[in-house]
Amino acid sequence: MSTQLTLQAPLALPPDQVPGYLERLWDQSLGSSPGAATFTLVVWEGSWLEQQLVRCGRLDGPITGFLNEKVLEAARAAAASCGLPLSTAPMDPKLAWAIGQLGGNHHAEDQRGQFVEGAISAHMPRRLITLAPTLDGSQPLETLVAAYCPLPEEGAGSSACGDVVVLRGSTGALHQNLDLVQPLIAPDLPCWVWWNSSLDEAPEVMAALATGARRLVVDSSLGDPRRCLNLLVERITAGQPINDLNWLRLRSWRESLAMVFDPPSRRDALNHVVQLDIDVEGSNPVKGLLLAAWLADRLGWQLISTYAVDGDGVGDGIGAEFERSDGETVRFRQMPVPVGVPKTHPGAILGLRLICQSSQGSPLCVILCSESGGCMRLESGGMASMELAEEVVPLPNESEEMEVARLLSGGHDSTNPLLAAAAPLAAKLLP
Amino acid sequence: MGAVLTNPLRVGLRQERVIPPQCLVIFGASGDLTHRKLVPALFELFRQRRLPSEFAVLGCARRPWSDEEFRRKMAEAMASEVAEHRVAWEQFAAGLFYEPVDLEDPPSVVRLGQRLEGIDRLRATRGNRTFYLSVSPNFYGSGCRSLAAAGLLSDPSRSRIVIEKPFGRDYGSAQELNRVVQTCAQENQIFRIDHYLGKETVQNILVMRFANTIFEPIWNRNYISSVQITAAETVGVEERAGYYESSGALRDMVQNHLTQMLALTTMEAPGRFDPESMRNEKAKVLQAARLANEDEPWKCCVRGQYGSGGSSTRPITGYRHEPGVNPESTTETYVAMKLFINNWRWQGVPFYLRTGKRLPKRLSEVVLTFREAPVHLFDAAGGAPTPNQLILRIQPNEGAEFKFEVKAPGSGMRSRPVDMAFSYDDSFGEPSDEGYVRLLADAMLGDPTLYTRSDEVEAAWRLYTPLLELIEDAPSRLPVYPYEARTWGPAASDNLLAADGLAWRRP
Ligand SMILES: NC(=O)c1ccc[n+]([C@@H]2O[C@H](COP(=O)([O-])OP(=O)(O)OC[C@H]3O[C@@H](n4cnc5c(N)ncnc54)[C@H](OP(=O)(O)O)[C@@H]3O)[C@@H](O)[C@H]2O)c1
């Protein structure tokens, strides 16, 4: 989907004039518009990678906040020159940090928050508030305001207008001015808070924004694994609706695995799993653990123990033992694997192997491989005597905005129960 | 489909779109359909977590029930589901409300508007409404008028209206009803139900045809010699005699369900899978369909009525002796006919449609028979080689089957037919959505793909107009042949195909 420009060029206003201006905007210019009775979307748009790449001259501006091919290419190239392992994913916060150590002082126009992705505008947000922290730690707060009316897609119904508010400045300046944001969030409409950045940064800002029944969207692949998983668990325990893009990206893996067991003749094998192996890219274990935890929860396994396993120089793997409901043991291993061209987010899954051994018949070995790379490690090792079911898992090719738009389409007013069950278990799996 | 062990990894995996906040208003809330189909389907959607929390159901009918009474009646009607999912039911039932409304009494419809505003505040349903007319067809027109007069349909982005079957009883009345509802609402607000379109395997006809490349090149007059569409029921008229007596098989099954199967089987590929492109193609192909013999329609149609049958221990009552049926009734419970589609793809290919009650099996299927091999090189075990057939089974044992010739084992080169079968049950083992679950969800999502558009309905009625007129004006020309209950209809129906050197497939 195309990105849509705001209706007018955004207007820079002193922060204290923003609420009054917005009121007048609705009374006068947008008087005839019904005003979408939808939701408010608040985005913390770190974009550190893009900002750093621009600053050191490895990427031309403007800064948009969108993760496009150019940003990814520049990031992959930078990883090598920063001396980071090839397996470092472009979105790994370590990469943005390492680029931050490179010299350069280029500037580009900062357009974050001034464009609305078509997939998101299709849901007609009533208000889009973007918090755009800058690299310059002394930058004072600037505010920009605009109205926008999405162009209705051909054949779609009528659309309603909304407005866009951008708050730009250093993290400190944004934090100090958060009380400006609160009154801009309509109390009677749902509010989504999308933390489009590492979960390690600005915890005090997140705490202030993502309160109560606001629907939080995070990405648990970005940040320290333990902190990410703990954050999921805390919010789930507190009853706050939380959505994790890292979890959502597991969809094609879950779908492919479910497909293997669709034929009723295969169902019984699920009661006889003895071994689960997962290979992940690089050293971030979170996505793999969420997948393992989901499977364990679905199949009713109890976690017995968990421990670190020696990896081959890429970092430690994780081992665990589960107990099935019939008392038998399931062995779990998750290993980090070095790759040449990592996927965008840290810890992408490369392959999964499930071995099912019932008392009758020959054992069943299910192998799922990522479309982009083979999974030779999982294919080797004495499976000749087993019935083999191998599937290739397609790579979903969706932008973050599309994923978020899918959430905005409604119904995600509470945490997905599968994630609510998997996240605490994944946290326990981390040794 | 038989429910097998569910696949524990499937739970929560469906990628269904989520229904936006709204209030579903059901007229006829005290009727049969509401407690038998609609509320169970809604509860199913609720348990699948496909309803938003900002959701309410407002039941309406004339009798003065309270919210509590409505909840209780619904709970009683679906006692076993409620007992099984007690907590979920409590949550769901909190969103059930009732308002006494007489669709023919404008002030009560105005009161309904006020009640809806209250519900919007209570349940945050934001003024979005789906009105479901589950009342007698006599009220479709007046119901729409009262809703429009009360201003409840004025915002096309927030309100829509679902109309049950039957939509009209002939071309003229369907046109008139379309005219009335279109003065009350825009076409994109009007959702005309056809229950067959809610069935997964009917939708699968589209997926099989247009998601594969191997079928489309041969899906035409060059390769297909004839097509049979069957919808057979084992049941009799049951408790619906009052309605059925004035309708008959042609109106009750052929004009809608069989015609929809025909349209999906024969339509051109739409440019994209959106409601209007889909419905354009369906309407186009129906407009090109004709009775095989429009001037002498009695030559291409056979009517029948079931007589008694069964065994001495389990006798089956004939139609005329069913409760509520006129002992001299000439209503058909069976109808078979031959059609053509006059377009490039289908010119000259005969389509045979049949449906009936009290037939030996319950089943719906589409059978495409391919042309014979041009030269017979091998002796066929059965004399002549059996033509290839592709059978799309709609129900039961949903799936598809392909019949082709292989070498019969043994010395020599004799051929014999074999079956290659795909079964939904063996491959997925999952019971599919009940039609109403899918249809209700689509209506509330505002997706009309599986609903029939005004031009489709009218084209379908027009197609059968010569028959309906004949039945009206000169019924003796289209006699109702008796057939024994639990047989495959009257012999005249076999003759209809025999005249073309064909026979009905014995499923
Ligand atoms: N039942 C089925 O299996 C089935 C299958 C396919 C299609 N349909 C269609 O679905 C519709 C409903 O069928 P049904 O079997 O549920 O009918 P039903 O049992 O006869 O119910 C009719 C409902 O309409 C209400 N009603 C009657 N006059 C009304 C008025 N003036 N204003 C408001 N409500 C009024 C009645 O309640 P009060 O007396 O309290 O007003 C009752 O709740 C029909 O169009 C039928 O063709 C039904």
Which tens digits make up the pLDDT trace of B47-87?
887 888 789 999 999 999 999 999 999 999 999 999 999 99
Report CA(B423)–ligand 1 centroid distance (Å): 36
What pLDDT is attached to residue A154? 46
Q: Where are the domains of chain B?
A: 22-164, 197-498
Of the partner residues A37, A258, A267, the one whose CB lies closest to the CB of residue B13: A258
- A267:B5 CB<8 A: yes
**Contacts for A23 with CB less than 8 Å, ≥ 6 apart:** none
For residue A104, give the 3-state DSSP assignment.
coil
Q: Tell me which fold the domain B197-498 belongs to.
A: Dihydrodipicolinate Reductase; domain 2 (3.30.360)
CA distances, B446 to each of A76, A322, B3 (Å): 43, 46, 30
- Given pLDDT bands bounded at 50, 70 and 90, which one contains residue A6? low
Longest dimension (CA), chain B: 84
- Using the mean position of ligand 1's atoms as its centre, give its distance from the Cα of residue B137 in Å: 8
Q: Do A298 and B446 touch (CB under 8 A)?
A: no
| Chain length of chain A | 431
- Cα B64 vs. chain centroid, distance in angstroms? 33
- Helices A417-429 and A286-299 pack at an angle, to 10 degrees, of 120
Q: Which residues, 6 or more positions from B24, have their beta carbon under 8 angstroms from its beta carbon?
A: B42, B55, B56, B57, B58, B129, B130, B132, B440, B444
Within 8 A of A410 by CB-CB distance, chain B residues are: 18-21, 52
Question: Which residues in chain B are closer than 8 Å to A270, comparing Cβ atoms?
Answer: 8-9
For residue A268, the chain B residue with the least C-alpha distance is B5
Q: What distance in Å separates residue A127's CA from the closest CA in chain B?
A: 17
For chain A, residues classed under CATH 3.30.360 are: 251-393
What is the model's pLDDT at position A30? 59
Q: Please write the tens of the pLDDT for every residue from A174-193.
A: 999 999 998 999 887 889 99
The predicted structure's pLDDT at residue B432: 62
Could you list the pLDDT tens digit for every one of the 507 residues in chain B? 333 357 888 877 765 677 888 999 999 999 999 999 999 999 999 988 788 878 999 999 999 999 999 999 999 999 999 999 999 999 999 999 999 999 999 899 999 999 999 999 898 888 899 999 999 999 999 999 999 999 999 998 899 999 999 999 999 999 999 999 999 999 999 999 998 898 888 888 999 999 999 999 999 999 999 999 999 999 999 988 999 999 999 999 999 999 999 999 999 999 988 899 999 999 999 999 999 999 999 999 999 999 999 888 999 999 999 999 999 999 999 999 999 999 999 999 999 999 999 999 999 999 999 998 888 888 887 777 789 999 999 888 888 999 998 988 887 888 888 999 988 888 877 656 578 999 999 999 999 999 999 999 999 999 999 999 999 999 999 999 999 999 999 999 999 999 999 999 988
Contact A257 B156 (CB under 8 A): no
* Chain B CA closest to residue A36: B126
Looking at residue B247, its amino acid is S
Q: What is the largest CA-CA distance in chain A?
A: 76
State residue A1's pLDDT score.
40
A349 CB-near residues (< 8 Å, 6+ apart): A250, A253, A278, A279, A280, A281, A287, A288, A291, A370, A393
Q: Which of B9, B87, B189 to mutate to test the interface with A (most CBs of A within 10 A)?
A: B9
Q: Does domain B22-164 have CATH number 3.40.50.720?
A: yes
Q: What is the pLDDT of residue A150?
A: 63
In angstroms, the CA B89 to CA B488 distance is 44
Q: Which residue owns the Cα nearest ligand 1 atom 34?
A: B61
pLDDT band at A41 (very low <50, low <70, confident <90, very high): very high
pLDDT value at residue A116 = 78
CA of B244 to the centre of ligand 1 (A): 15
The burial class, CB within 10 Å (0-12 / 13-18 / 19+), for A271 is middle
With CB atoms and an 8 Å threshold, state whether B157 touches A416.
Answer: no
Distance of alpha carbon A51 from alpha carbon A102, whole angstroms: 13
How confident is the model over A262-297, as pLDDT tens digits? 888 888 899 999 999 999 998 899 999 999 999 999
Above 50 in pLDDT, residue A156? no
Per-residue pLDDT, A361: 77
- Ligand 1 centroid to Cα of residue A165, in Å, is 51
Show residues of chain B in contact with A414, CB under 8 Å.
53
| Spatial strand order in the sheet of B190-192 | B96-100, B55-61, B22-27, B129-133, B159-163, B190-192
Whole-prediction pTM value? Answer: 0.82
Under the banding of pLDDT at 50, 70 and 90, the label for residue A155 is: very low
Q: Is the peptide bond before A431 cis (omega within 30 degrees of 0)?
A: no
For residue B64, is the peptide bond before it cis, meaning its omega torsion is within 30 degrees of 0?
no
The answer to whether A196 contacts chain B (CB < 8 Å) is no
Q: Where are the beta strands (DSSP E) in A6-114?
A: 11-13, 40-45
Q: Inform me whether the C-beta atom of residue A324 falls under 8 Å from chain B C-beta atoms.
A: no
Query: Pairing mode, if any, of strands A364-370 and A349-356?
Result: antiparallel
What three-state secondary structure class fits A50?
helix
Return the bridge partners of B60, or none. B27, B99
pLDDT at A152: 52
Whether the ipTM is more than 0.85: the answer is: no
| Model pLDDT, residue A72 | 93
How close is the Cα of B164 to the center of ligand 1, in Å? Answer: 10
Whether chain B has a CB inside 8 Å of the CB on A263: the answer is: yes
Q: What is the pLDDT of residue B8?
A: 84
Are A158 and B49 in contact (CB < 8 Å)? no
* pLDDT value, residue A229: 98
Q: If you average pLDDT over residues A71-85, what whole number do you get?
A: 91
DSSP letter assigned to residue A139: P
CA distance A321 to chain B (A): 20
Neighbours of B247 (CB within 10 A): 18
CA distance B366 to chain A (A): 25
Bridge partner list, B226: B369
CA distance B428 to B417: 27
Partner residue opposite A263 with nearest CB, options B20, B126, B426? B426
What CATH architecture is A251-393? 2-Layer Sandwich (3.30)
Residue A340 pLDDT: 84
Query: What does the alpha-carbon distance between residue B177 and residue B141 come to, in Å, rounded to a whole number?
Result: 6
Query: B55-61 and B22-27 as β-strands: parallel, antiparallel, unpaired?
Result: parallel
Q: Do B429 and A410 touch (CB under 8 A)?
A: no
For the segment B337-376, what is each residue's pLDDT rounded down to a tens digit? 999 999 999 999 999 999 999 999 999 999 999 998 888 8
Pocket test for ligand 1, best of B101, B134, B163 (most atoms within 8 A of CB): B134
Helix (H) or strand (E) holding B109: helix B106-123
Identify the sign of the CA torsion A28, A31, A36, A39: positive
| B491: number of Cβ within 10 Å | 14
3-state SS assignment for residue B347: coil
Partner-chain contact B9 A298, CB within 8 Å? yes
